[in-house]
Amino acid sequence: MTGSGEAGAGHQRGETSARDERHAFLTAPISPKKLHTPPVTGDAPPSSPTTPVRARSKPPTRRPTGHAGRILKRLSARVPAALAEEADFGTPFLFVPVLLLAGAAAYFALPAEPARHNLPLALIVAGLVWWLAGRRSRLAARVCLTAIIVLVGMATAQWHTMARGTQMLGSAVTTHLTGRIVRIETRANGSVRYTLDVLATERPLLRHVPDRLRVTARSPAEDVRVGDGLKGVARLFPLAGPARPGGYDFAFHGSFAGHGANGFFYGAPDKVAVAMPDGWRKRLAGHLQNARLWLGDRIRAAAPGEAGSVSAALVNGDKSGIPEPVNEALRVSGLAHILTISGLHMALVAGTVMMTLRAILALSGPLASAHAVKKYAASAAFAAIFVYLFLAGAGVATQRSFIMLAVMLGALMLDRTAISKRNLAIAAIIVIAISPASVVGPSFHMSFAATLALIALYDGWNRMRIARARRRGFDPMPSGAAAVAANTGRFVAALAATSIVAGAASGLYAAYHFQRVAVLGLVTNLAAMPIVSFLTMPLAILATLAIPFGVDGPIYAAMAASAGWILSIAQWVAERSPDGMVGAMPAGAMLAATGALAWLCLCRTWLRWAAVVPALIAAFLVRPGEPPVAIISEDGRQAAVIAEDGALHVNRARPNAFNLEQWQMAHAAGRVIKPVAVDDPFADPPDGAGTEGAMRCNERVCTAMVRRKAVSVRLAILTAPLIAPGATHALCGQFDVIVLAYAPSTSQCSDGTLILTAQDLALRGSAEITVGTDASGAAKPAVRHAIGASLRPWHDHRRWSRAARNLAERQ
């Protein structure tokens, strides 16, 4: 055996030596002396091998010169190698969820619904082109594969839209409603919102009734649970569209959540007996909802007050009992994210369970040495977050966070790296496949952006630390007081870096979706997050585990005390923080910033610095544009004009709070000015009373004048027909924009006056009036609606409203 081993080793050394010699021969420089050119003789024929072949003269190639030329030459030499290195790292796979997200978002942004066969047909064609192009051009094949992934995202979104098929209420109606309770949310003001599965309607009998809706009762029914029946007289409304173009769309999100209407009960509804729901899933969901309600009541009984409501929200995900001033303080201070059961909470639960169990198992030397205790702890952590998923209500954000943590814990159990960009990409692909509508919501954007930025940060820091250690060696570990100081410094630095990076990544989407940023969010998170991580959430886990033993009350009280400290920090910071309103961000700026963030975080080589290009584009596009002249709500009854000084002049003394807040945030309007009551809004104001933008109103009409682009725009809003015959037609020419917020109404002007009728607003939603130019270059008012001319499936119910059919509302 020894001889054969030595012979094998010698043979291996011989092969290595030969390979080294071949490599040295092939890479050695060629000396000119070794080159032999045969002599040229006059007798040799042209085809003779001794005849030199004269190369065909070519025009000289113009090469870039100067500094720019050298840069381009260097890039052309380095880019292919960097791309190959990125491919070795698996970076192309990381862009798969980005392309799927782009496809789903593109489908939802289409101006019209594509035919059902269009996207599958496009996929087939793209697949054939990819198969043919792959034989000839690698670049063409990659372009086709990119298009296929985007089309898959679009097709997935369309399939979910067709599969959901939520029945939506088309017009407001009052009916006797009977339904089965699916969810109960008790608010801080004492009212209760019920989510009901509709069982029957009568007086009138609705032909196109939603399967599920939400109704609020100021006087709630007594002694009801999920699964019980309710009956009462209810006023139902269709789900509203965006309050402004580009705003939050209740109809879109409600359609994918399965809610087809909302409304309220007249008086207290009655409890009635109803049949049990069909299917084990609905019955199980009802039992889980009752368990959540029971748990929330138990926590609030142990710790009453605002802190107890916050503690209950952290455990069962029910935020309805938190007073609005507390919510506002958390939003302004940058701590509102702790109320949404998301990746932070799932990670804290999983980390607490895993570290505790692993530490306990490690106390047994034989057990720790003979078994993979880390996998046992990861399995227990998975079970914990699975239970937490349903205790917290299994909302969209909670489901997404569970998927992310489940993928990471699964990687641990398979001896893979738990926290990695690949695992995050897998989680994103699963979320997009399950719920493609979530990709256009703020929760998806903020959660994945913050997680991706943190993974990229610590991945880069770890690689820098390893490279430094290779150059200089590892530093000796400190001991004693030096070790405590060093560990404390590392913890504070890590917490600060986490808050800065996660806050910056998620703040981009907070600015886009909410038009607000937490100016002092870093300070608040540095002060509050250690309390959340080391006190509040561990106490929540310990108290929940102590319920079977009946000793959970004091622990929940301690948890509420720590939550009270968090609220104190939030309120202190909110009182001293600026409002943080930044105005509406253009969609193009958000897309460019998203591309920069994804490119910077997903690439590993120097190519990541190419993210500077889309970042600069985003910075250019984010410049504040000129505000619109006026904003009109979708029912036409509420309007506001924006004066040159930025003040928001409204036409109602008590405007709708949600619409007003949306308009203020979108245009960073710090001042709201209520209308001036006058007898005749058409009369010229007296001297000193006609400020620019002021709304002058009576019970039927409001008028205003706004200056924009060196022109004056005159606006009239009619909430009811004028009494005098022909008075409405007489307004043509006197005003540049006329809003007829009643039905039936018709456009009666032929002189170019912009007319908006109740029918226009009912079909196409809220509107913004801007100043454009006509073909001759003259200034002319223009309108931009929140909804396109072709109604998508989640807006198709709008055409059935009475206003959309130009019919008067029922009295």
Query: Strands, E, within 41-186: which ranges?
Result: 173-186
pLDDT of residue 745: 85
Please give the backbone phi and psi of residue 42, each rounded to the nearest 5 degrees, phi first: -70, -20
- Residues 235-254 as b/e (b if ≥16 CB within 10 A, e otherwise) read ebebbbbbbbbbbbbbbbbb
Q: How is residue 662 written in tokens?
A: 């949306």
Which ranges in 645-756 belong to alpha helices (H)? 657-667, 727-730
Q: What's the pLDDT tens digit per position in 292-344?
A: 999 999 999 999 999 999 999 999 988 989 999 999 999 999 898 888 877 77
Token pair 């930044």 is found at 582
Q: What is the pTM of this model?
A: 0.84
pLDDT of residue 776: 75
pLDDT of residue 308: 94
| The dihedral sign for the CA sequence 505, 511, 514, 520 | positive
pLDDT of residue 578: 87
Helix (H) and strand (E) counts for the chain?
A: 25, 18
632: nearest Cα among 727, 744, 737: 737
pLDDT of residue 65: 55
What distance in Å separates the CA atoms of residue 314 and residue 304, rounded to the nearest whole number? 15
197: part of which helix (H) or strand (E)? strand 192-202
What distance in Å separates the CA atoms of residue 350 and residue 377, rounded to the nearest whole number? 9
| The dihedral sign for the CA sequence 553, 559, 562, 568 | negative
Q: What end-to-end distance do the CA atoms of the chain give, in Å?
A: 104
pLDDT of residue 687: 53
Q: What's the pLDDT tens digit per position in 368-411?
A: 888 888 899 999 999 999 999 888 887 777 887 888 889 889 88
Which ranges in 322-441 belong to alpha helices (H)? 324-333, 343-361, 365-370, 373-391, 396-413, 421-434
Instruction: Give 598's strand partners.
Output: none
233, 281 Cβ separation under 8 angstroms? no
What distance in Å separates the CA atoms of residue 663 and residue 640, rounded to the nearest whole number? 8
- Non-local (6+) Cβ contacts of 541 within 8 A are 349, 352, 353, 384
pLDDT of residue 30: 44
SS3 state at 643:
coil
543, 559 Cβ separation under 8 angstroms? yes
pLDDT of residue 64: 52
pLDDT of residue 59: 54
Which regions of the chain are under pLDDT 50? Answer: 1-55, 688-689
671, 643 Cβ separation under 8 angstroms? no
pLDDT of residue 686: 62
Q: Environment class of residue 351 by beta-carbon count within 10 Å: exposed (0-12), middle (13-18) or buried (19+)?
A: middle
What distance in Å separates the CA atoms of residue 782 and residue 289, rounded to the nearest whole number? 49
